[in-house]
Amino acid sequence: MAGVDDVPTKPIPAFYCCYLLRSTVRQTSLYIGSTPHPSRRLAQHNGVSKGGARKTANDKRPWEMVLIVESFMSRTAALQFEWAWQKPGKSRHLGFGEDSMESARGMGKTRPRGSARSLKGHLENLHALLRSTYFSSLPLRVRFFADDVHQLWRVWSDRVDGVIPEHIKVIPDGSCVENKQPDIEYARVGSVEHIQVDYSKIRDYVEKTAFQLDDPEDLQCKVCQTPVVPKKELIVICPQMRCYCVSHLLCLSARFLDSTKERGRLVPISGTCPGCHKTVQWSLMMQELSFRTRGGKELQTILRKNKRGDFSINNVPREDTDDVRTVTAEYCDFSESVDASMKGPNDAFDESTHDDISLEDDWYESPALESDHEIGDWSKSHPAMSTRVEIVIEDSDCDNTG
């Protein structure tokens, strides 16, 4: 069984997205970037705060964020998507070289056409990326904030001969006409400023798992029916607030994969909880697991709030909360000991940097910057890392303005 020490050193980011900007004064001018904080980044691009990219600091301001691709499980995945979206002709995920184009024509397939710098071209390439072998396996969401951009997307989606996977959700938001049957799970937020970019969205879930795992003596894996040992094994818990199903990570993963129609898939997208029999998202459980085991100070802050009497789990009767506060207070001490035992030389973790961290083992060797920052001065002050900085610049700071 996989052990706790096998978990990467940082949790899955609370939020990370790629975005498409459009100039409000010259709508043919577009810009692609990525960020863990869309509203802050938009303010930087518009000169409201420091840090905007040089290519957007011009007479094309103000910019609007017309769409975002969200739910990336690491900063690295978002940067890979951004690079492929910026440079479709060079991306192995799209393969739009001459040989690929000729092969596609010969097979009668529709491939993205038009200028890569045009809105239509960006949307066509986005659609193709979401259908590509690698990115189609990710639990992504595409959120539109401009109705005309969403309509153009729908026109292309209706005529292209490929469809994006069902698990990739398209969300009309902002000025877009609302769906007649909106998906509650993927609700509209209204604007970029209202996007939730911290871990507060899983707070109730984290509190619930702390309560359940505090006394593991009577806990059994719902799949293999053997006892679970939270301090030594990776344990996942159903995110449904009234379900207390506990499973070993590998047991539940195997169960979900066995039930999928996609043969050859290595990581589940979703599955039916063996306890409550409701569909649950694998990415949500992995985010909670990584935060529970590697959340550091932020995890401790959430649980300490419970110790002060702020604890509340949705749908849990009020008479249960006194016992819950007691066990979660004790869990705080456990989380501190786990964090201390696993902490390495690069485990600094605070609110200003946690959502820039990727899951790769060498994340600390890359600058914890948003992808399209101007970082020339930074590289001069860190000559030992200048080679890696140059790679980041090439991969992300692309001129997409027309």
Rounded CA separation 309/324 (Å): 10
Nearest-angstrom CA–CA distance, 115 and 88: 11
Q: Which pLDDT belongs to residue 227?
A: 95
For 4-56, the pLDDT digits (tens) are: 444 457 899 999 999 999 999 999 999 999 999 999 999 999 999 998 888 99
Residue 368 in this model has a pLDDT that exceeds 60: no
Task: In whole angstroms, give the CA distance from residue 36 to residue 169.
Answer: 19
Above pLDDT 70, what percent of the chain? 66
pLDDT score at 390: 28
Over the stretch 136-183, which tens digit does the pLDDT of each residue have?
A: 999 999 999 999 999 999 999 999 989 999 999 999 999 998 766 556
| C-alpha to C-alpha distance for 260 and 356, rounded to whole angstroms | 32
pLDDT value at residue 363: 30
- Residue 324: the pLDDT is 33
Q: How many CB atoms lie within 10 A of CB 342?
A: 15
> Which residue type does 302 have?
I
What's the pLDDT band for 277 if we cut at 50, 70, 90?
Answer: very high
| Portion of the chain with pLDDT greater than 90, in percent | 56
Q: Do the Cβ atoms of 228 and 220 come closer than 8 Å?
A: yes
Distance CA 21, CA 398 (A): 13
Do residues 402 and 29 make contact, with C-beta atoms less than 8 angstroms apart?
yes
Residue 119 backbone phi and psi in degrees, to 5 = -60, -45
> HSE of 305 in the Cβ direction (CA atoms, 13 Å)?
14
Q: Residue 365: what are its φ and ψ, rounded to 5°?
A: -85, -10
Cα 223 to Cα 33, 172, 230, 270, 273: the distances in Å are 42, 38, 16, 16, 10
Q: Are 42 and 328 in contact (CB under 8 A)?
A: no
Position with higher pLDDT, 140 vs 334? 140
- CATH class for the region spanning 201-289: alpha beta
The average confidence (pLDDT) of the chain is 76
DSSP annotation string for 17-40: EEEEEEESSSTT-EEEEEES-HHH
Q: Which has more confidence, 210 or 261?
A: 210
Per-residue pLDDT of 103-120, as tens digits, reads: 444 333 444 444 568 999
Mean pLDDT of 87-116: 57
User: Per mean pLDDT, which range of 119-123, 288-292, 317-321 is the poorest?
Assistant: 317-321
* Number of residues in the chain: 402
pLDDT-based confidence at residue 245 (cuts at 50, 70, 90): very high
Determine the pLDDT at residue 263.
79
Q: Which of 24, 312, 70, 242 has its CA nearest to residue 173?
A: 70
Joined tokens for residue 284: 């949500």
Give this prediction's pTM: 0.74
What does the DSSP 8-state code read for residue 13?
P
Per domain, the residue ranges of the chain are 17-95+117-197, 201-289
Comparing 247 with 393, the larger pLDDT belongs to 247
Answer for the pair 303, 207: CB distance below 8 angstroms, yes or no.
yes
What whole-number distance in Å separates Cα of residue 118 and Cα of residue 141? 22
Region 194-215 average pLDDT: 94
Q: CA 131 to CA 125: how far, in whole Å?
A: 10
